[in-house]
Amino acid sequence: MVYELADGRHVSDVEQKIESPGTRSEGTGTGTLPVLKVSGIAKTYGPVQALRPTDFELRAGQVHALVGENGSGKSTVVGILSGAVRPDTGAVSCGDCLLRRSVPWESQKLGVQTVFQDGTLIAELTVAQNLYLGTPRDQRPAYRNITAWARRRLEEHGLDQIDPARRAGDLPPGDRQLVDIVRALATRPKVLLLDEATSSLDASGVDAALDLMRRAADQGAAVLLVTHRLFEVFRVADVISVLRDGVWQGTWSASDVDSTTLVELMAGTTVNVEFPKRSDSGGTTAAQLTATGLRGRNFGPVDLKLRRGEILGLAGADGNGQLGLLRALAGMGLTGGSLTAGTKTVRGFQDACSAGITYLSSDRREESLFPSLAIRENLVAGVLGRISRLGYIGAGNERRLTGASVETFGIRLGSVEDHITSLSGGNQQKVALSRALATEPSVLLVDEPTQGVDVRSRIDIYHMLRNAADAGSSVVVVSSDAAELAGLCDRILVISRGRTVAEFGGEDSSEERIIHAFTGARQVGADREGAPAAADASRRWGRLRLGQDARRLGLVVLMLLILGAYTQSRASSFLGEASLYNVMLLALPLAVVAGAEFLVMFTGSIDVSVGSNMGLTVALLSFIFTGAGLAVGLPVFLLTAIGIGIVLGTANAFVIERIRIPAVIATIAGLGILQGLGLVIRPQAAGTINSHVVSALTAKVGPIPIPLLIVVAVFVLADIGLRTTGRGLRLRSVGLNSVLAYRLGENTPRIRQVGYVGCAILASMAGVLLAAQVGTGDSTVGSQYTLLAIAAPILGGASLLGGRGSFAGCLVGALLLAMAEALPAVLSLSNGMSQTLAGALTLVALLVYSGSGASVADRTRRVARRLVGS
């Protein structure tokens, strides 16, 4: 197809200049062979053809830019090449090797590394740990040396100001993105894929990132750069390809096209790329939001007045407090000063909402969107009161609002009922902004409004923000793009080291003037004073984190001691050898089954069938080798438990990971099946357990059962492995964020499958210990452990979200619950008191845990997402 450009030329005229993908005038990449070839790849999501059959190649030593509007298929291409997305048709080959499986670790083995649009770093892990995970195994150092190794990697790429021991989530967004780029570059990949890898970077960060890309190409890598910032394309690219509506439009040498040509190729029509005209009344009306001496994390004191109908921009180098100031204007993170909206005093986020202040975060995944809801539900979530009557949503009102939003913002979708994650990043941004504007806010606070958005949509968003201001809203924008602020805003405040260092009127501002204002000031990104501060902060965080975990476990130990002391004061024989032995013996199978549950909880899942597993094991053991000696009976019992565990764990892994039934549902079903099988085998308690095995598994040294000593030793070794080895880190990464761990190259399905099998084996082992205590074949005896197996790890500091806790915590939690179970007999209490006390202790542990991080509601929401597999 031939498209007419604004100057009268046709695309075909440009194409005639291109005999083959060329290189920059410097000659980089001349004569090189293709490193990666793509043949006929295509992808469909439901009714949407995201990518039509496409052929292209990437050459060593070239930076190949891929541009297109939101929803054009760029991220789909990156996903397929990285192995994260399976194409419907076509093939990808790297060198002489065909990518046969669409999984990230296979692509990485072939030398393909990817920096994704929404990042890859796991926030809860340190910078060094993230770099370690993202590095192929044959290039990783010994785990004990990762901090020094990571520091060298950062220094090699000019990021020596970043402390490798610092938690990744505590880094400014720009630093996180730079670390992610270094993570990919440090492996010296054959192919480097960058999907909007500069979207969160300020001017200096963009310069650093582009220099890193150019250096990678000069060292022989084939670099594919996906970006909406065309100045980046012409700064670094050798060749440029265009996608539109999933169709590959062609490839051109960077020297043969200009930005106007590219925009029209991307849109298929002429596009006006001018900023909207500023309002004549901007800044002339009374203040709508007033801040005096405002303070918060990394900023303050700051004074400002926001006038009705104006757009105020906050500029500065990344990490200098502008984002903290924006959030503080929404009542979040305030530590000092006063904030007034009209006549209302704002002390927190709820006050801000009541005053008509709306905040829109750039973090779409966690703060701006509801990832588990449909597009329609996300669009109307902010105005449910307006479209509902007596608690019921009016379908007509909802349909009109959704249709208007889709049309006004040009949101590209298949259906409004599709999942929000089916949209491209730019279209997700449009949905988030549409919902915010639908509330008709008096003050709209927006962080990076055009992050990941194409040129035409960016202009649309500028007009939407200007229209909102013209309608009476006050708008505050934080952007890493100084040219955007200069063209859009009526007034710009430049922030450096948390304070205002310059103020410009919109007409008097320019990109150069804004950048000069914050680079000329002493700000965090320019000098090295920030590096020691960051290091000190990371060390403080490390001590705090260790202190929190130790205090949480210490609190459980304290509860255990207090409960023991109280019981001793009421029954003087409680701390006697016989009584202590009974409590520890009672805790023994619980500790092991708690360790089993912790194994799957640590990887972010759950198994509620462990109690039934124990009961079935007890029933089966009552039939086998009942009269054999210890030398035969004990090995047979243990091998039987291992066999049962392998069968049950494999079944769970298949149903959950292959058939993709949510873990909680699958294991509840498994619980019922195992209970039924147990009753089929032993309808009533009968038979006997091998007496020699019973004697061995109940033997003691003083008041301590010998098997408990073995369990303690195994648990200590397991904890050392979790905390000090690469394998332990891999397990933790899957529990903390399985999606990002998958992108980093971890085989998350297999790791979880191993977790289910290991859990089932340990639960069956707990069944062997339980069988030795009951002495008979009772299939119902394991039912009491179903909830206790979950409660004990949580008491010991584990989290249903995954990635936290310890086997030692499982042991301490089991001892505490066993003591609660023993209290009725010792203190002559009712039988129900033991369960009541166990529940109360678990609730206390949950409250302690929730108080040390996110809110209870936030944690509950994230737990629910994990459990239902959303």
pLDDT in tens, 394-428: 777 788 888 888 887 778 787 888 888 888 777 88
Distance CA 767, CA 226 (A): 55
> Which of 350-364, 511-525, 572-586 has the lowest average pLDDT?
511-525
Residues in the chain: 870
Cβ contact 212:63 at 8 Å:
no
CA 618 from centre of chain = 41
Please confirm whether the linkage preceding 589 is cis (ω < 30° from 0). Answer: no
Average pLDDT over residues 196-218: 88
Burial 294-307 (b: 16+ CB within 10 A, else e): bbbebbbebebbbb
Token code pair at residue 510: 């320019």
User: What is the average per-residue pLDDT within 627-653?
Assistant: 93
Q: Supply the pLDDT for residue 777.
A: 92
Of the two residues 679 and 516, the one the predictor is more confident about is: 679
The predicted model gives 304-315 an average pLDDT of 91
DSSP 480: S
Neighbours of 13 (CB within 10 A): 11
Three-class DSSP category at 476 = strand
pTM metric for this prediction = 0.78
Lowest mean pLDDT among 480-484, 508-512, 796-800: 508-512
pLDDT of 3 > 50? The answer is no
Model pLDDT, residue 18: 35
Backbone φ, ψ for residue 361 (5° rounding): -80, 155
Q: Count how many Cα atoms sit within 13 Å of the Cα of residue 576 in the half-sphere of its side chain.
A: 7
Residues 6+ apart with CB under 8 A from 310: 279, 282, 283, 469, 474, 475, 490, 491
pLDDT-wise least confident of 234-248, 378-392, 629-643: 378-392
For residue 45, the cross-strand partners are 48
> What does the H/E/C string look like for 622-647?
CCCCCCCCHHHHHHHHHHHHHHHHHH
Average pLDDT over residues 595-620: 94
For residue 515, give the nearest of 264, 372, 317, 729 by alpha carbon: 317
Distance CA(207)–CA(198), nearest Å, equals: 9
* Number of neighbouring beta carbons within 10 Å of residue 34: 17
The dihedral over CA atoms of 622, 626, 631, 634, expressed in degrees to the nearest 10, equals: 10
Specify the pLDDT at position 274: 78
Instruction: Look up residue 308 and give its DSSP letter.
Output: T
Q: What is the pLDDT of residues 825-844, one digit of tens each?
A: 777 766 677 667 767 766 76
Tokens of 642: 């291992």
pLDDT one-digit tens code per residue, 35-54 = 999 999 999 987 778 899 99
Is residue 702 over pLDDT 70?
yes
Average pLDDT (158-165) is 91
Are the C-beta atoms of residues 198 and 205 closer than 8 Å to each other?
A: yes
Cα distances (Å, whole numbers) of residue 576 to 175, 550, 583, 698: 59, 29, 11, 18
Nearest to 672 by CA among 609, 757, 756: 609
pLDDT of residue 155: 92
pLDDT of residue 712: 96
- CA dihedral 648→651→656→661, nearest 10 degrees, is -110
Structure confidence at residue 32 (pLDDT): 66
Q: How far apart are CA 656 and CA 287, in angstroms?
A: 56
- pLDDT, mean over the chain: 83
Distance CA 453, CA 96 (A): 36
Confidence of residue 766 (pLDDT cuts 50, 70, 90): very high
pLDDT at 285: 66
- Among candidates 166, 212, 150, which has minimal Cα distance to 530? 166
Run of H or E including 346: none
Burial annotation 337-374 (CB, 10 A radius, 16+ → b, else e)? bebbbbeeebeebebbbebbbbbbbbbbeeebbeeebe
**Residue 236 corresponds to which tokens in the numbers above?**
């670094």
Nearest to 67 by CA among 233, 193, 247: 233
Lowest mean pLDDT among 71-85, 430-444, 552-566: 552-566
Model pLDDT for residues 253-295, shown as the tens digit of each residue: 998 988 888 888 888 776 677 788 887 655 456 788 999 999 9
pLDDT band at residue 11, thresholds of 50, 70 and 90? very low
Residue type, 670: G
pLDDT of 848 reads 58
- For strands 334-341 and 287-296, give the pairing: antiparallel
Distances in Å between the Cα of 595 and the Cα atoms of 69, 661, 788, 806 are: 50, 24, 11, 9
pLDDT of residue 521: 57
CA distances from 776 to 516, 635, 644, 694, 781 (A): 82, 19, 19, 10, 10
Q: Which residue has the higher pLDDT, 203 or 680?
A: 680
In this prediction, residue 864 carries a pLDDT of 45
pLDDT digits (tens, 9 = 90+) for 90-121: 999 988 888 888 889 899 988 999 998 878 89
> What sign for the dihedral angle of Cα 178, 182, 183, 185?
positive
Distance in angstroms (rounded) separating the CA atoms of residues 317 and 200: 11
Q: Which of 624, 651, 648, 654 is nearest to 762 (CA)?
A: 648
Span 176-197, mean pLDDT? 92
* Closest to 790 measured CA to CA, from 777, 799, 781: 799
Q: What number is the average pLDDT over the span 502-523?
A: 75
Cα separation of 476 and 352, whole Å?
Answer: 14
- Select the more confidently predicted residue: 385 or 591: 591
Which residues 6+ apart lie within 8 Å of 403 measured at CB? none
pLDDT of residue 847: 66
The pLDDT, as a whole number, for residue 213 is 93
pLDDT in tens, 666-701: 999 999 999 999 999 999 999 999 999 999 999 999
Measured between alpha carbons, how far is 451 from 428 in angstroms, rounded to an integer? 11
DSSP assignment of 663-700 equals: HHHHHHHHHHHHHHHHHHH-SSSBS---HHHHHHHT-E
Report the pLDDT averaged over residues 124-132. 93
- Asked whether 278 and 490 are in contact (CB, 8 A), the reply is yes
Q: How confident is the model at residue 542 (pLDDT cuts 50, 70, 90)?
A: very low
Contact status, residue 95 vs residue 40, Cβ threshold 8 Å: no
Per-residue tokens: 819: 């003591």
| CA 425 – CA 434 distance, rounded (Å) | 14
Paired residues of 339 in beta bridges? 291
pLDDT number for residue 551: 67
pLDDT given for residue 70 in this prediction: 80
Secondary structure (3-state) at 503: strand
pLDDT band at 855 (very low <50, low <70, confident <90, very high): very low
Give the dihedral sign, CA 651/652/657/660: positive
Judge contact between 575 and 564, C-beta under 8 A: yes
If you ran DSSP here, which 8-state letter would residue 500 be given? E
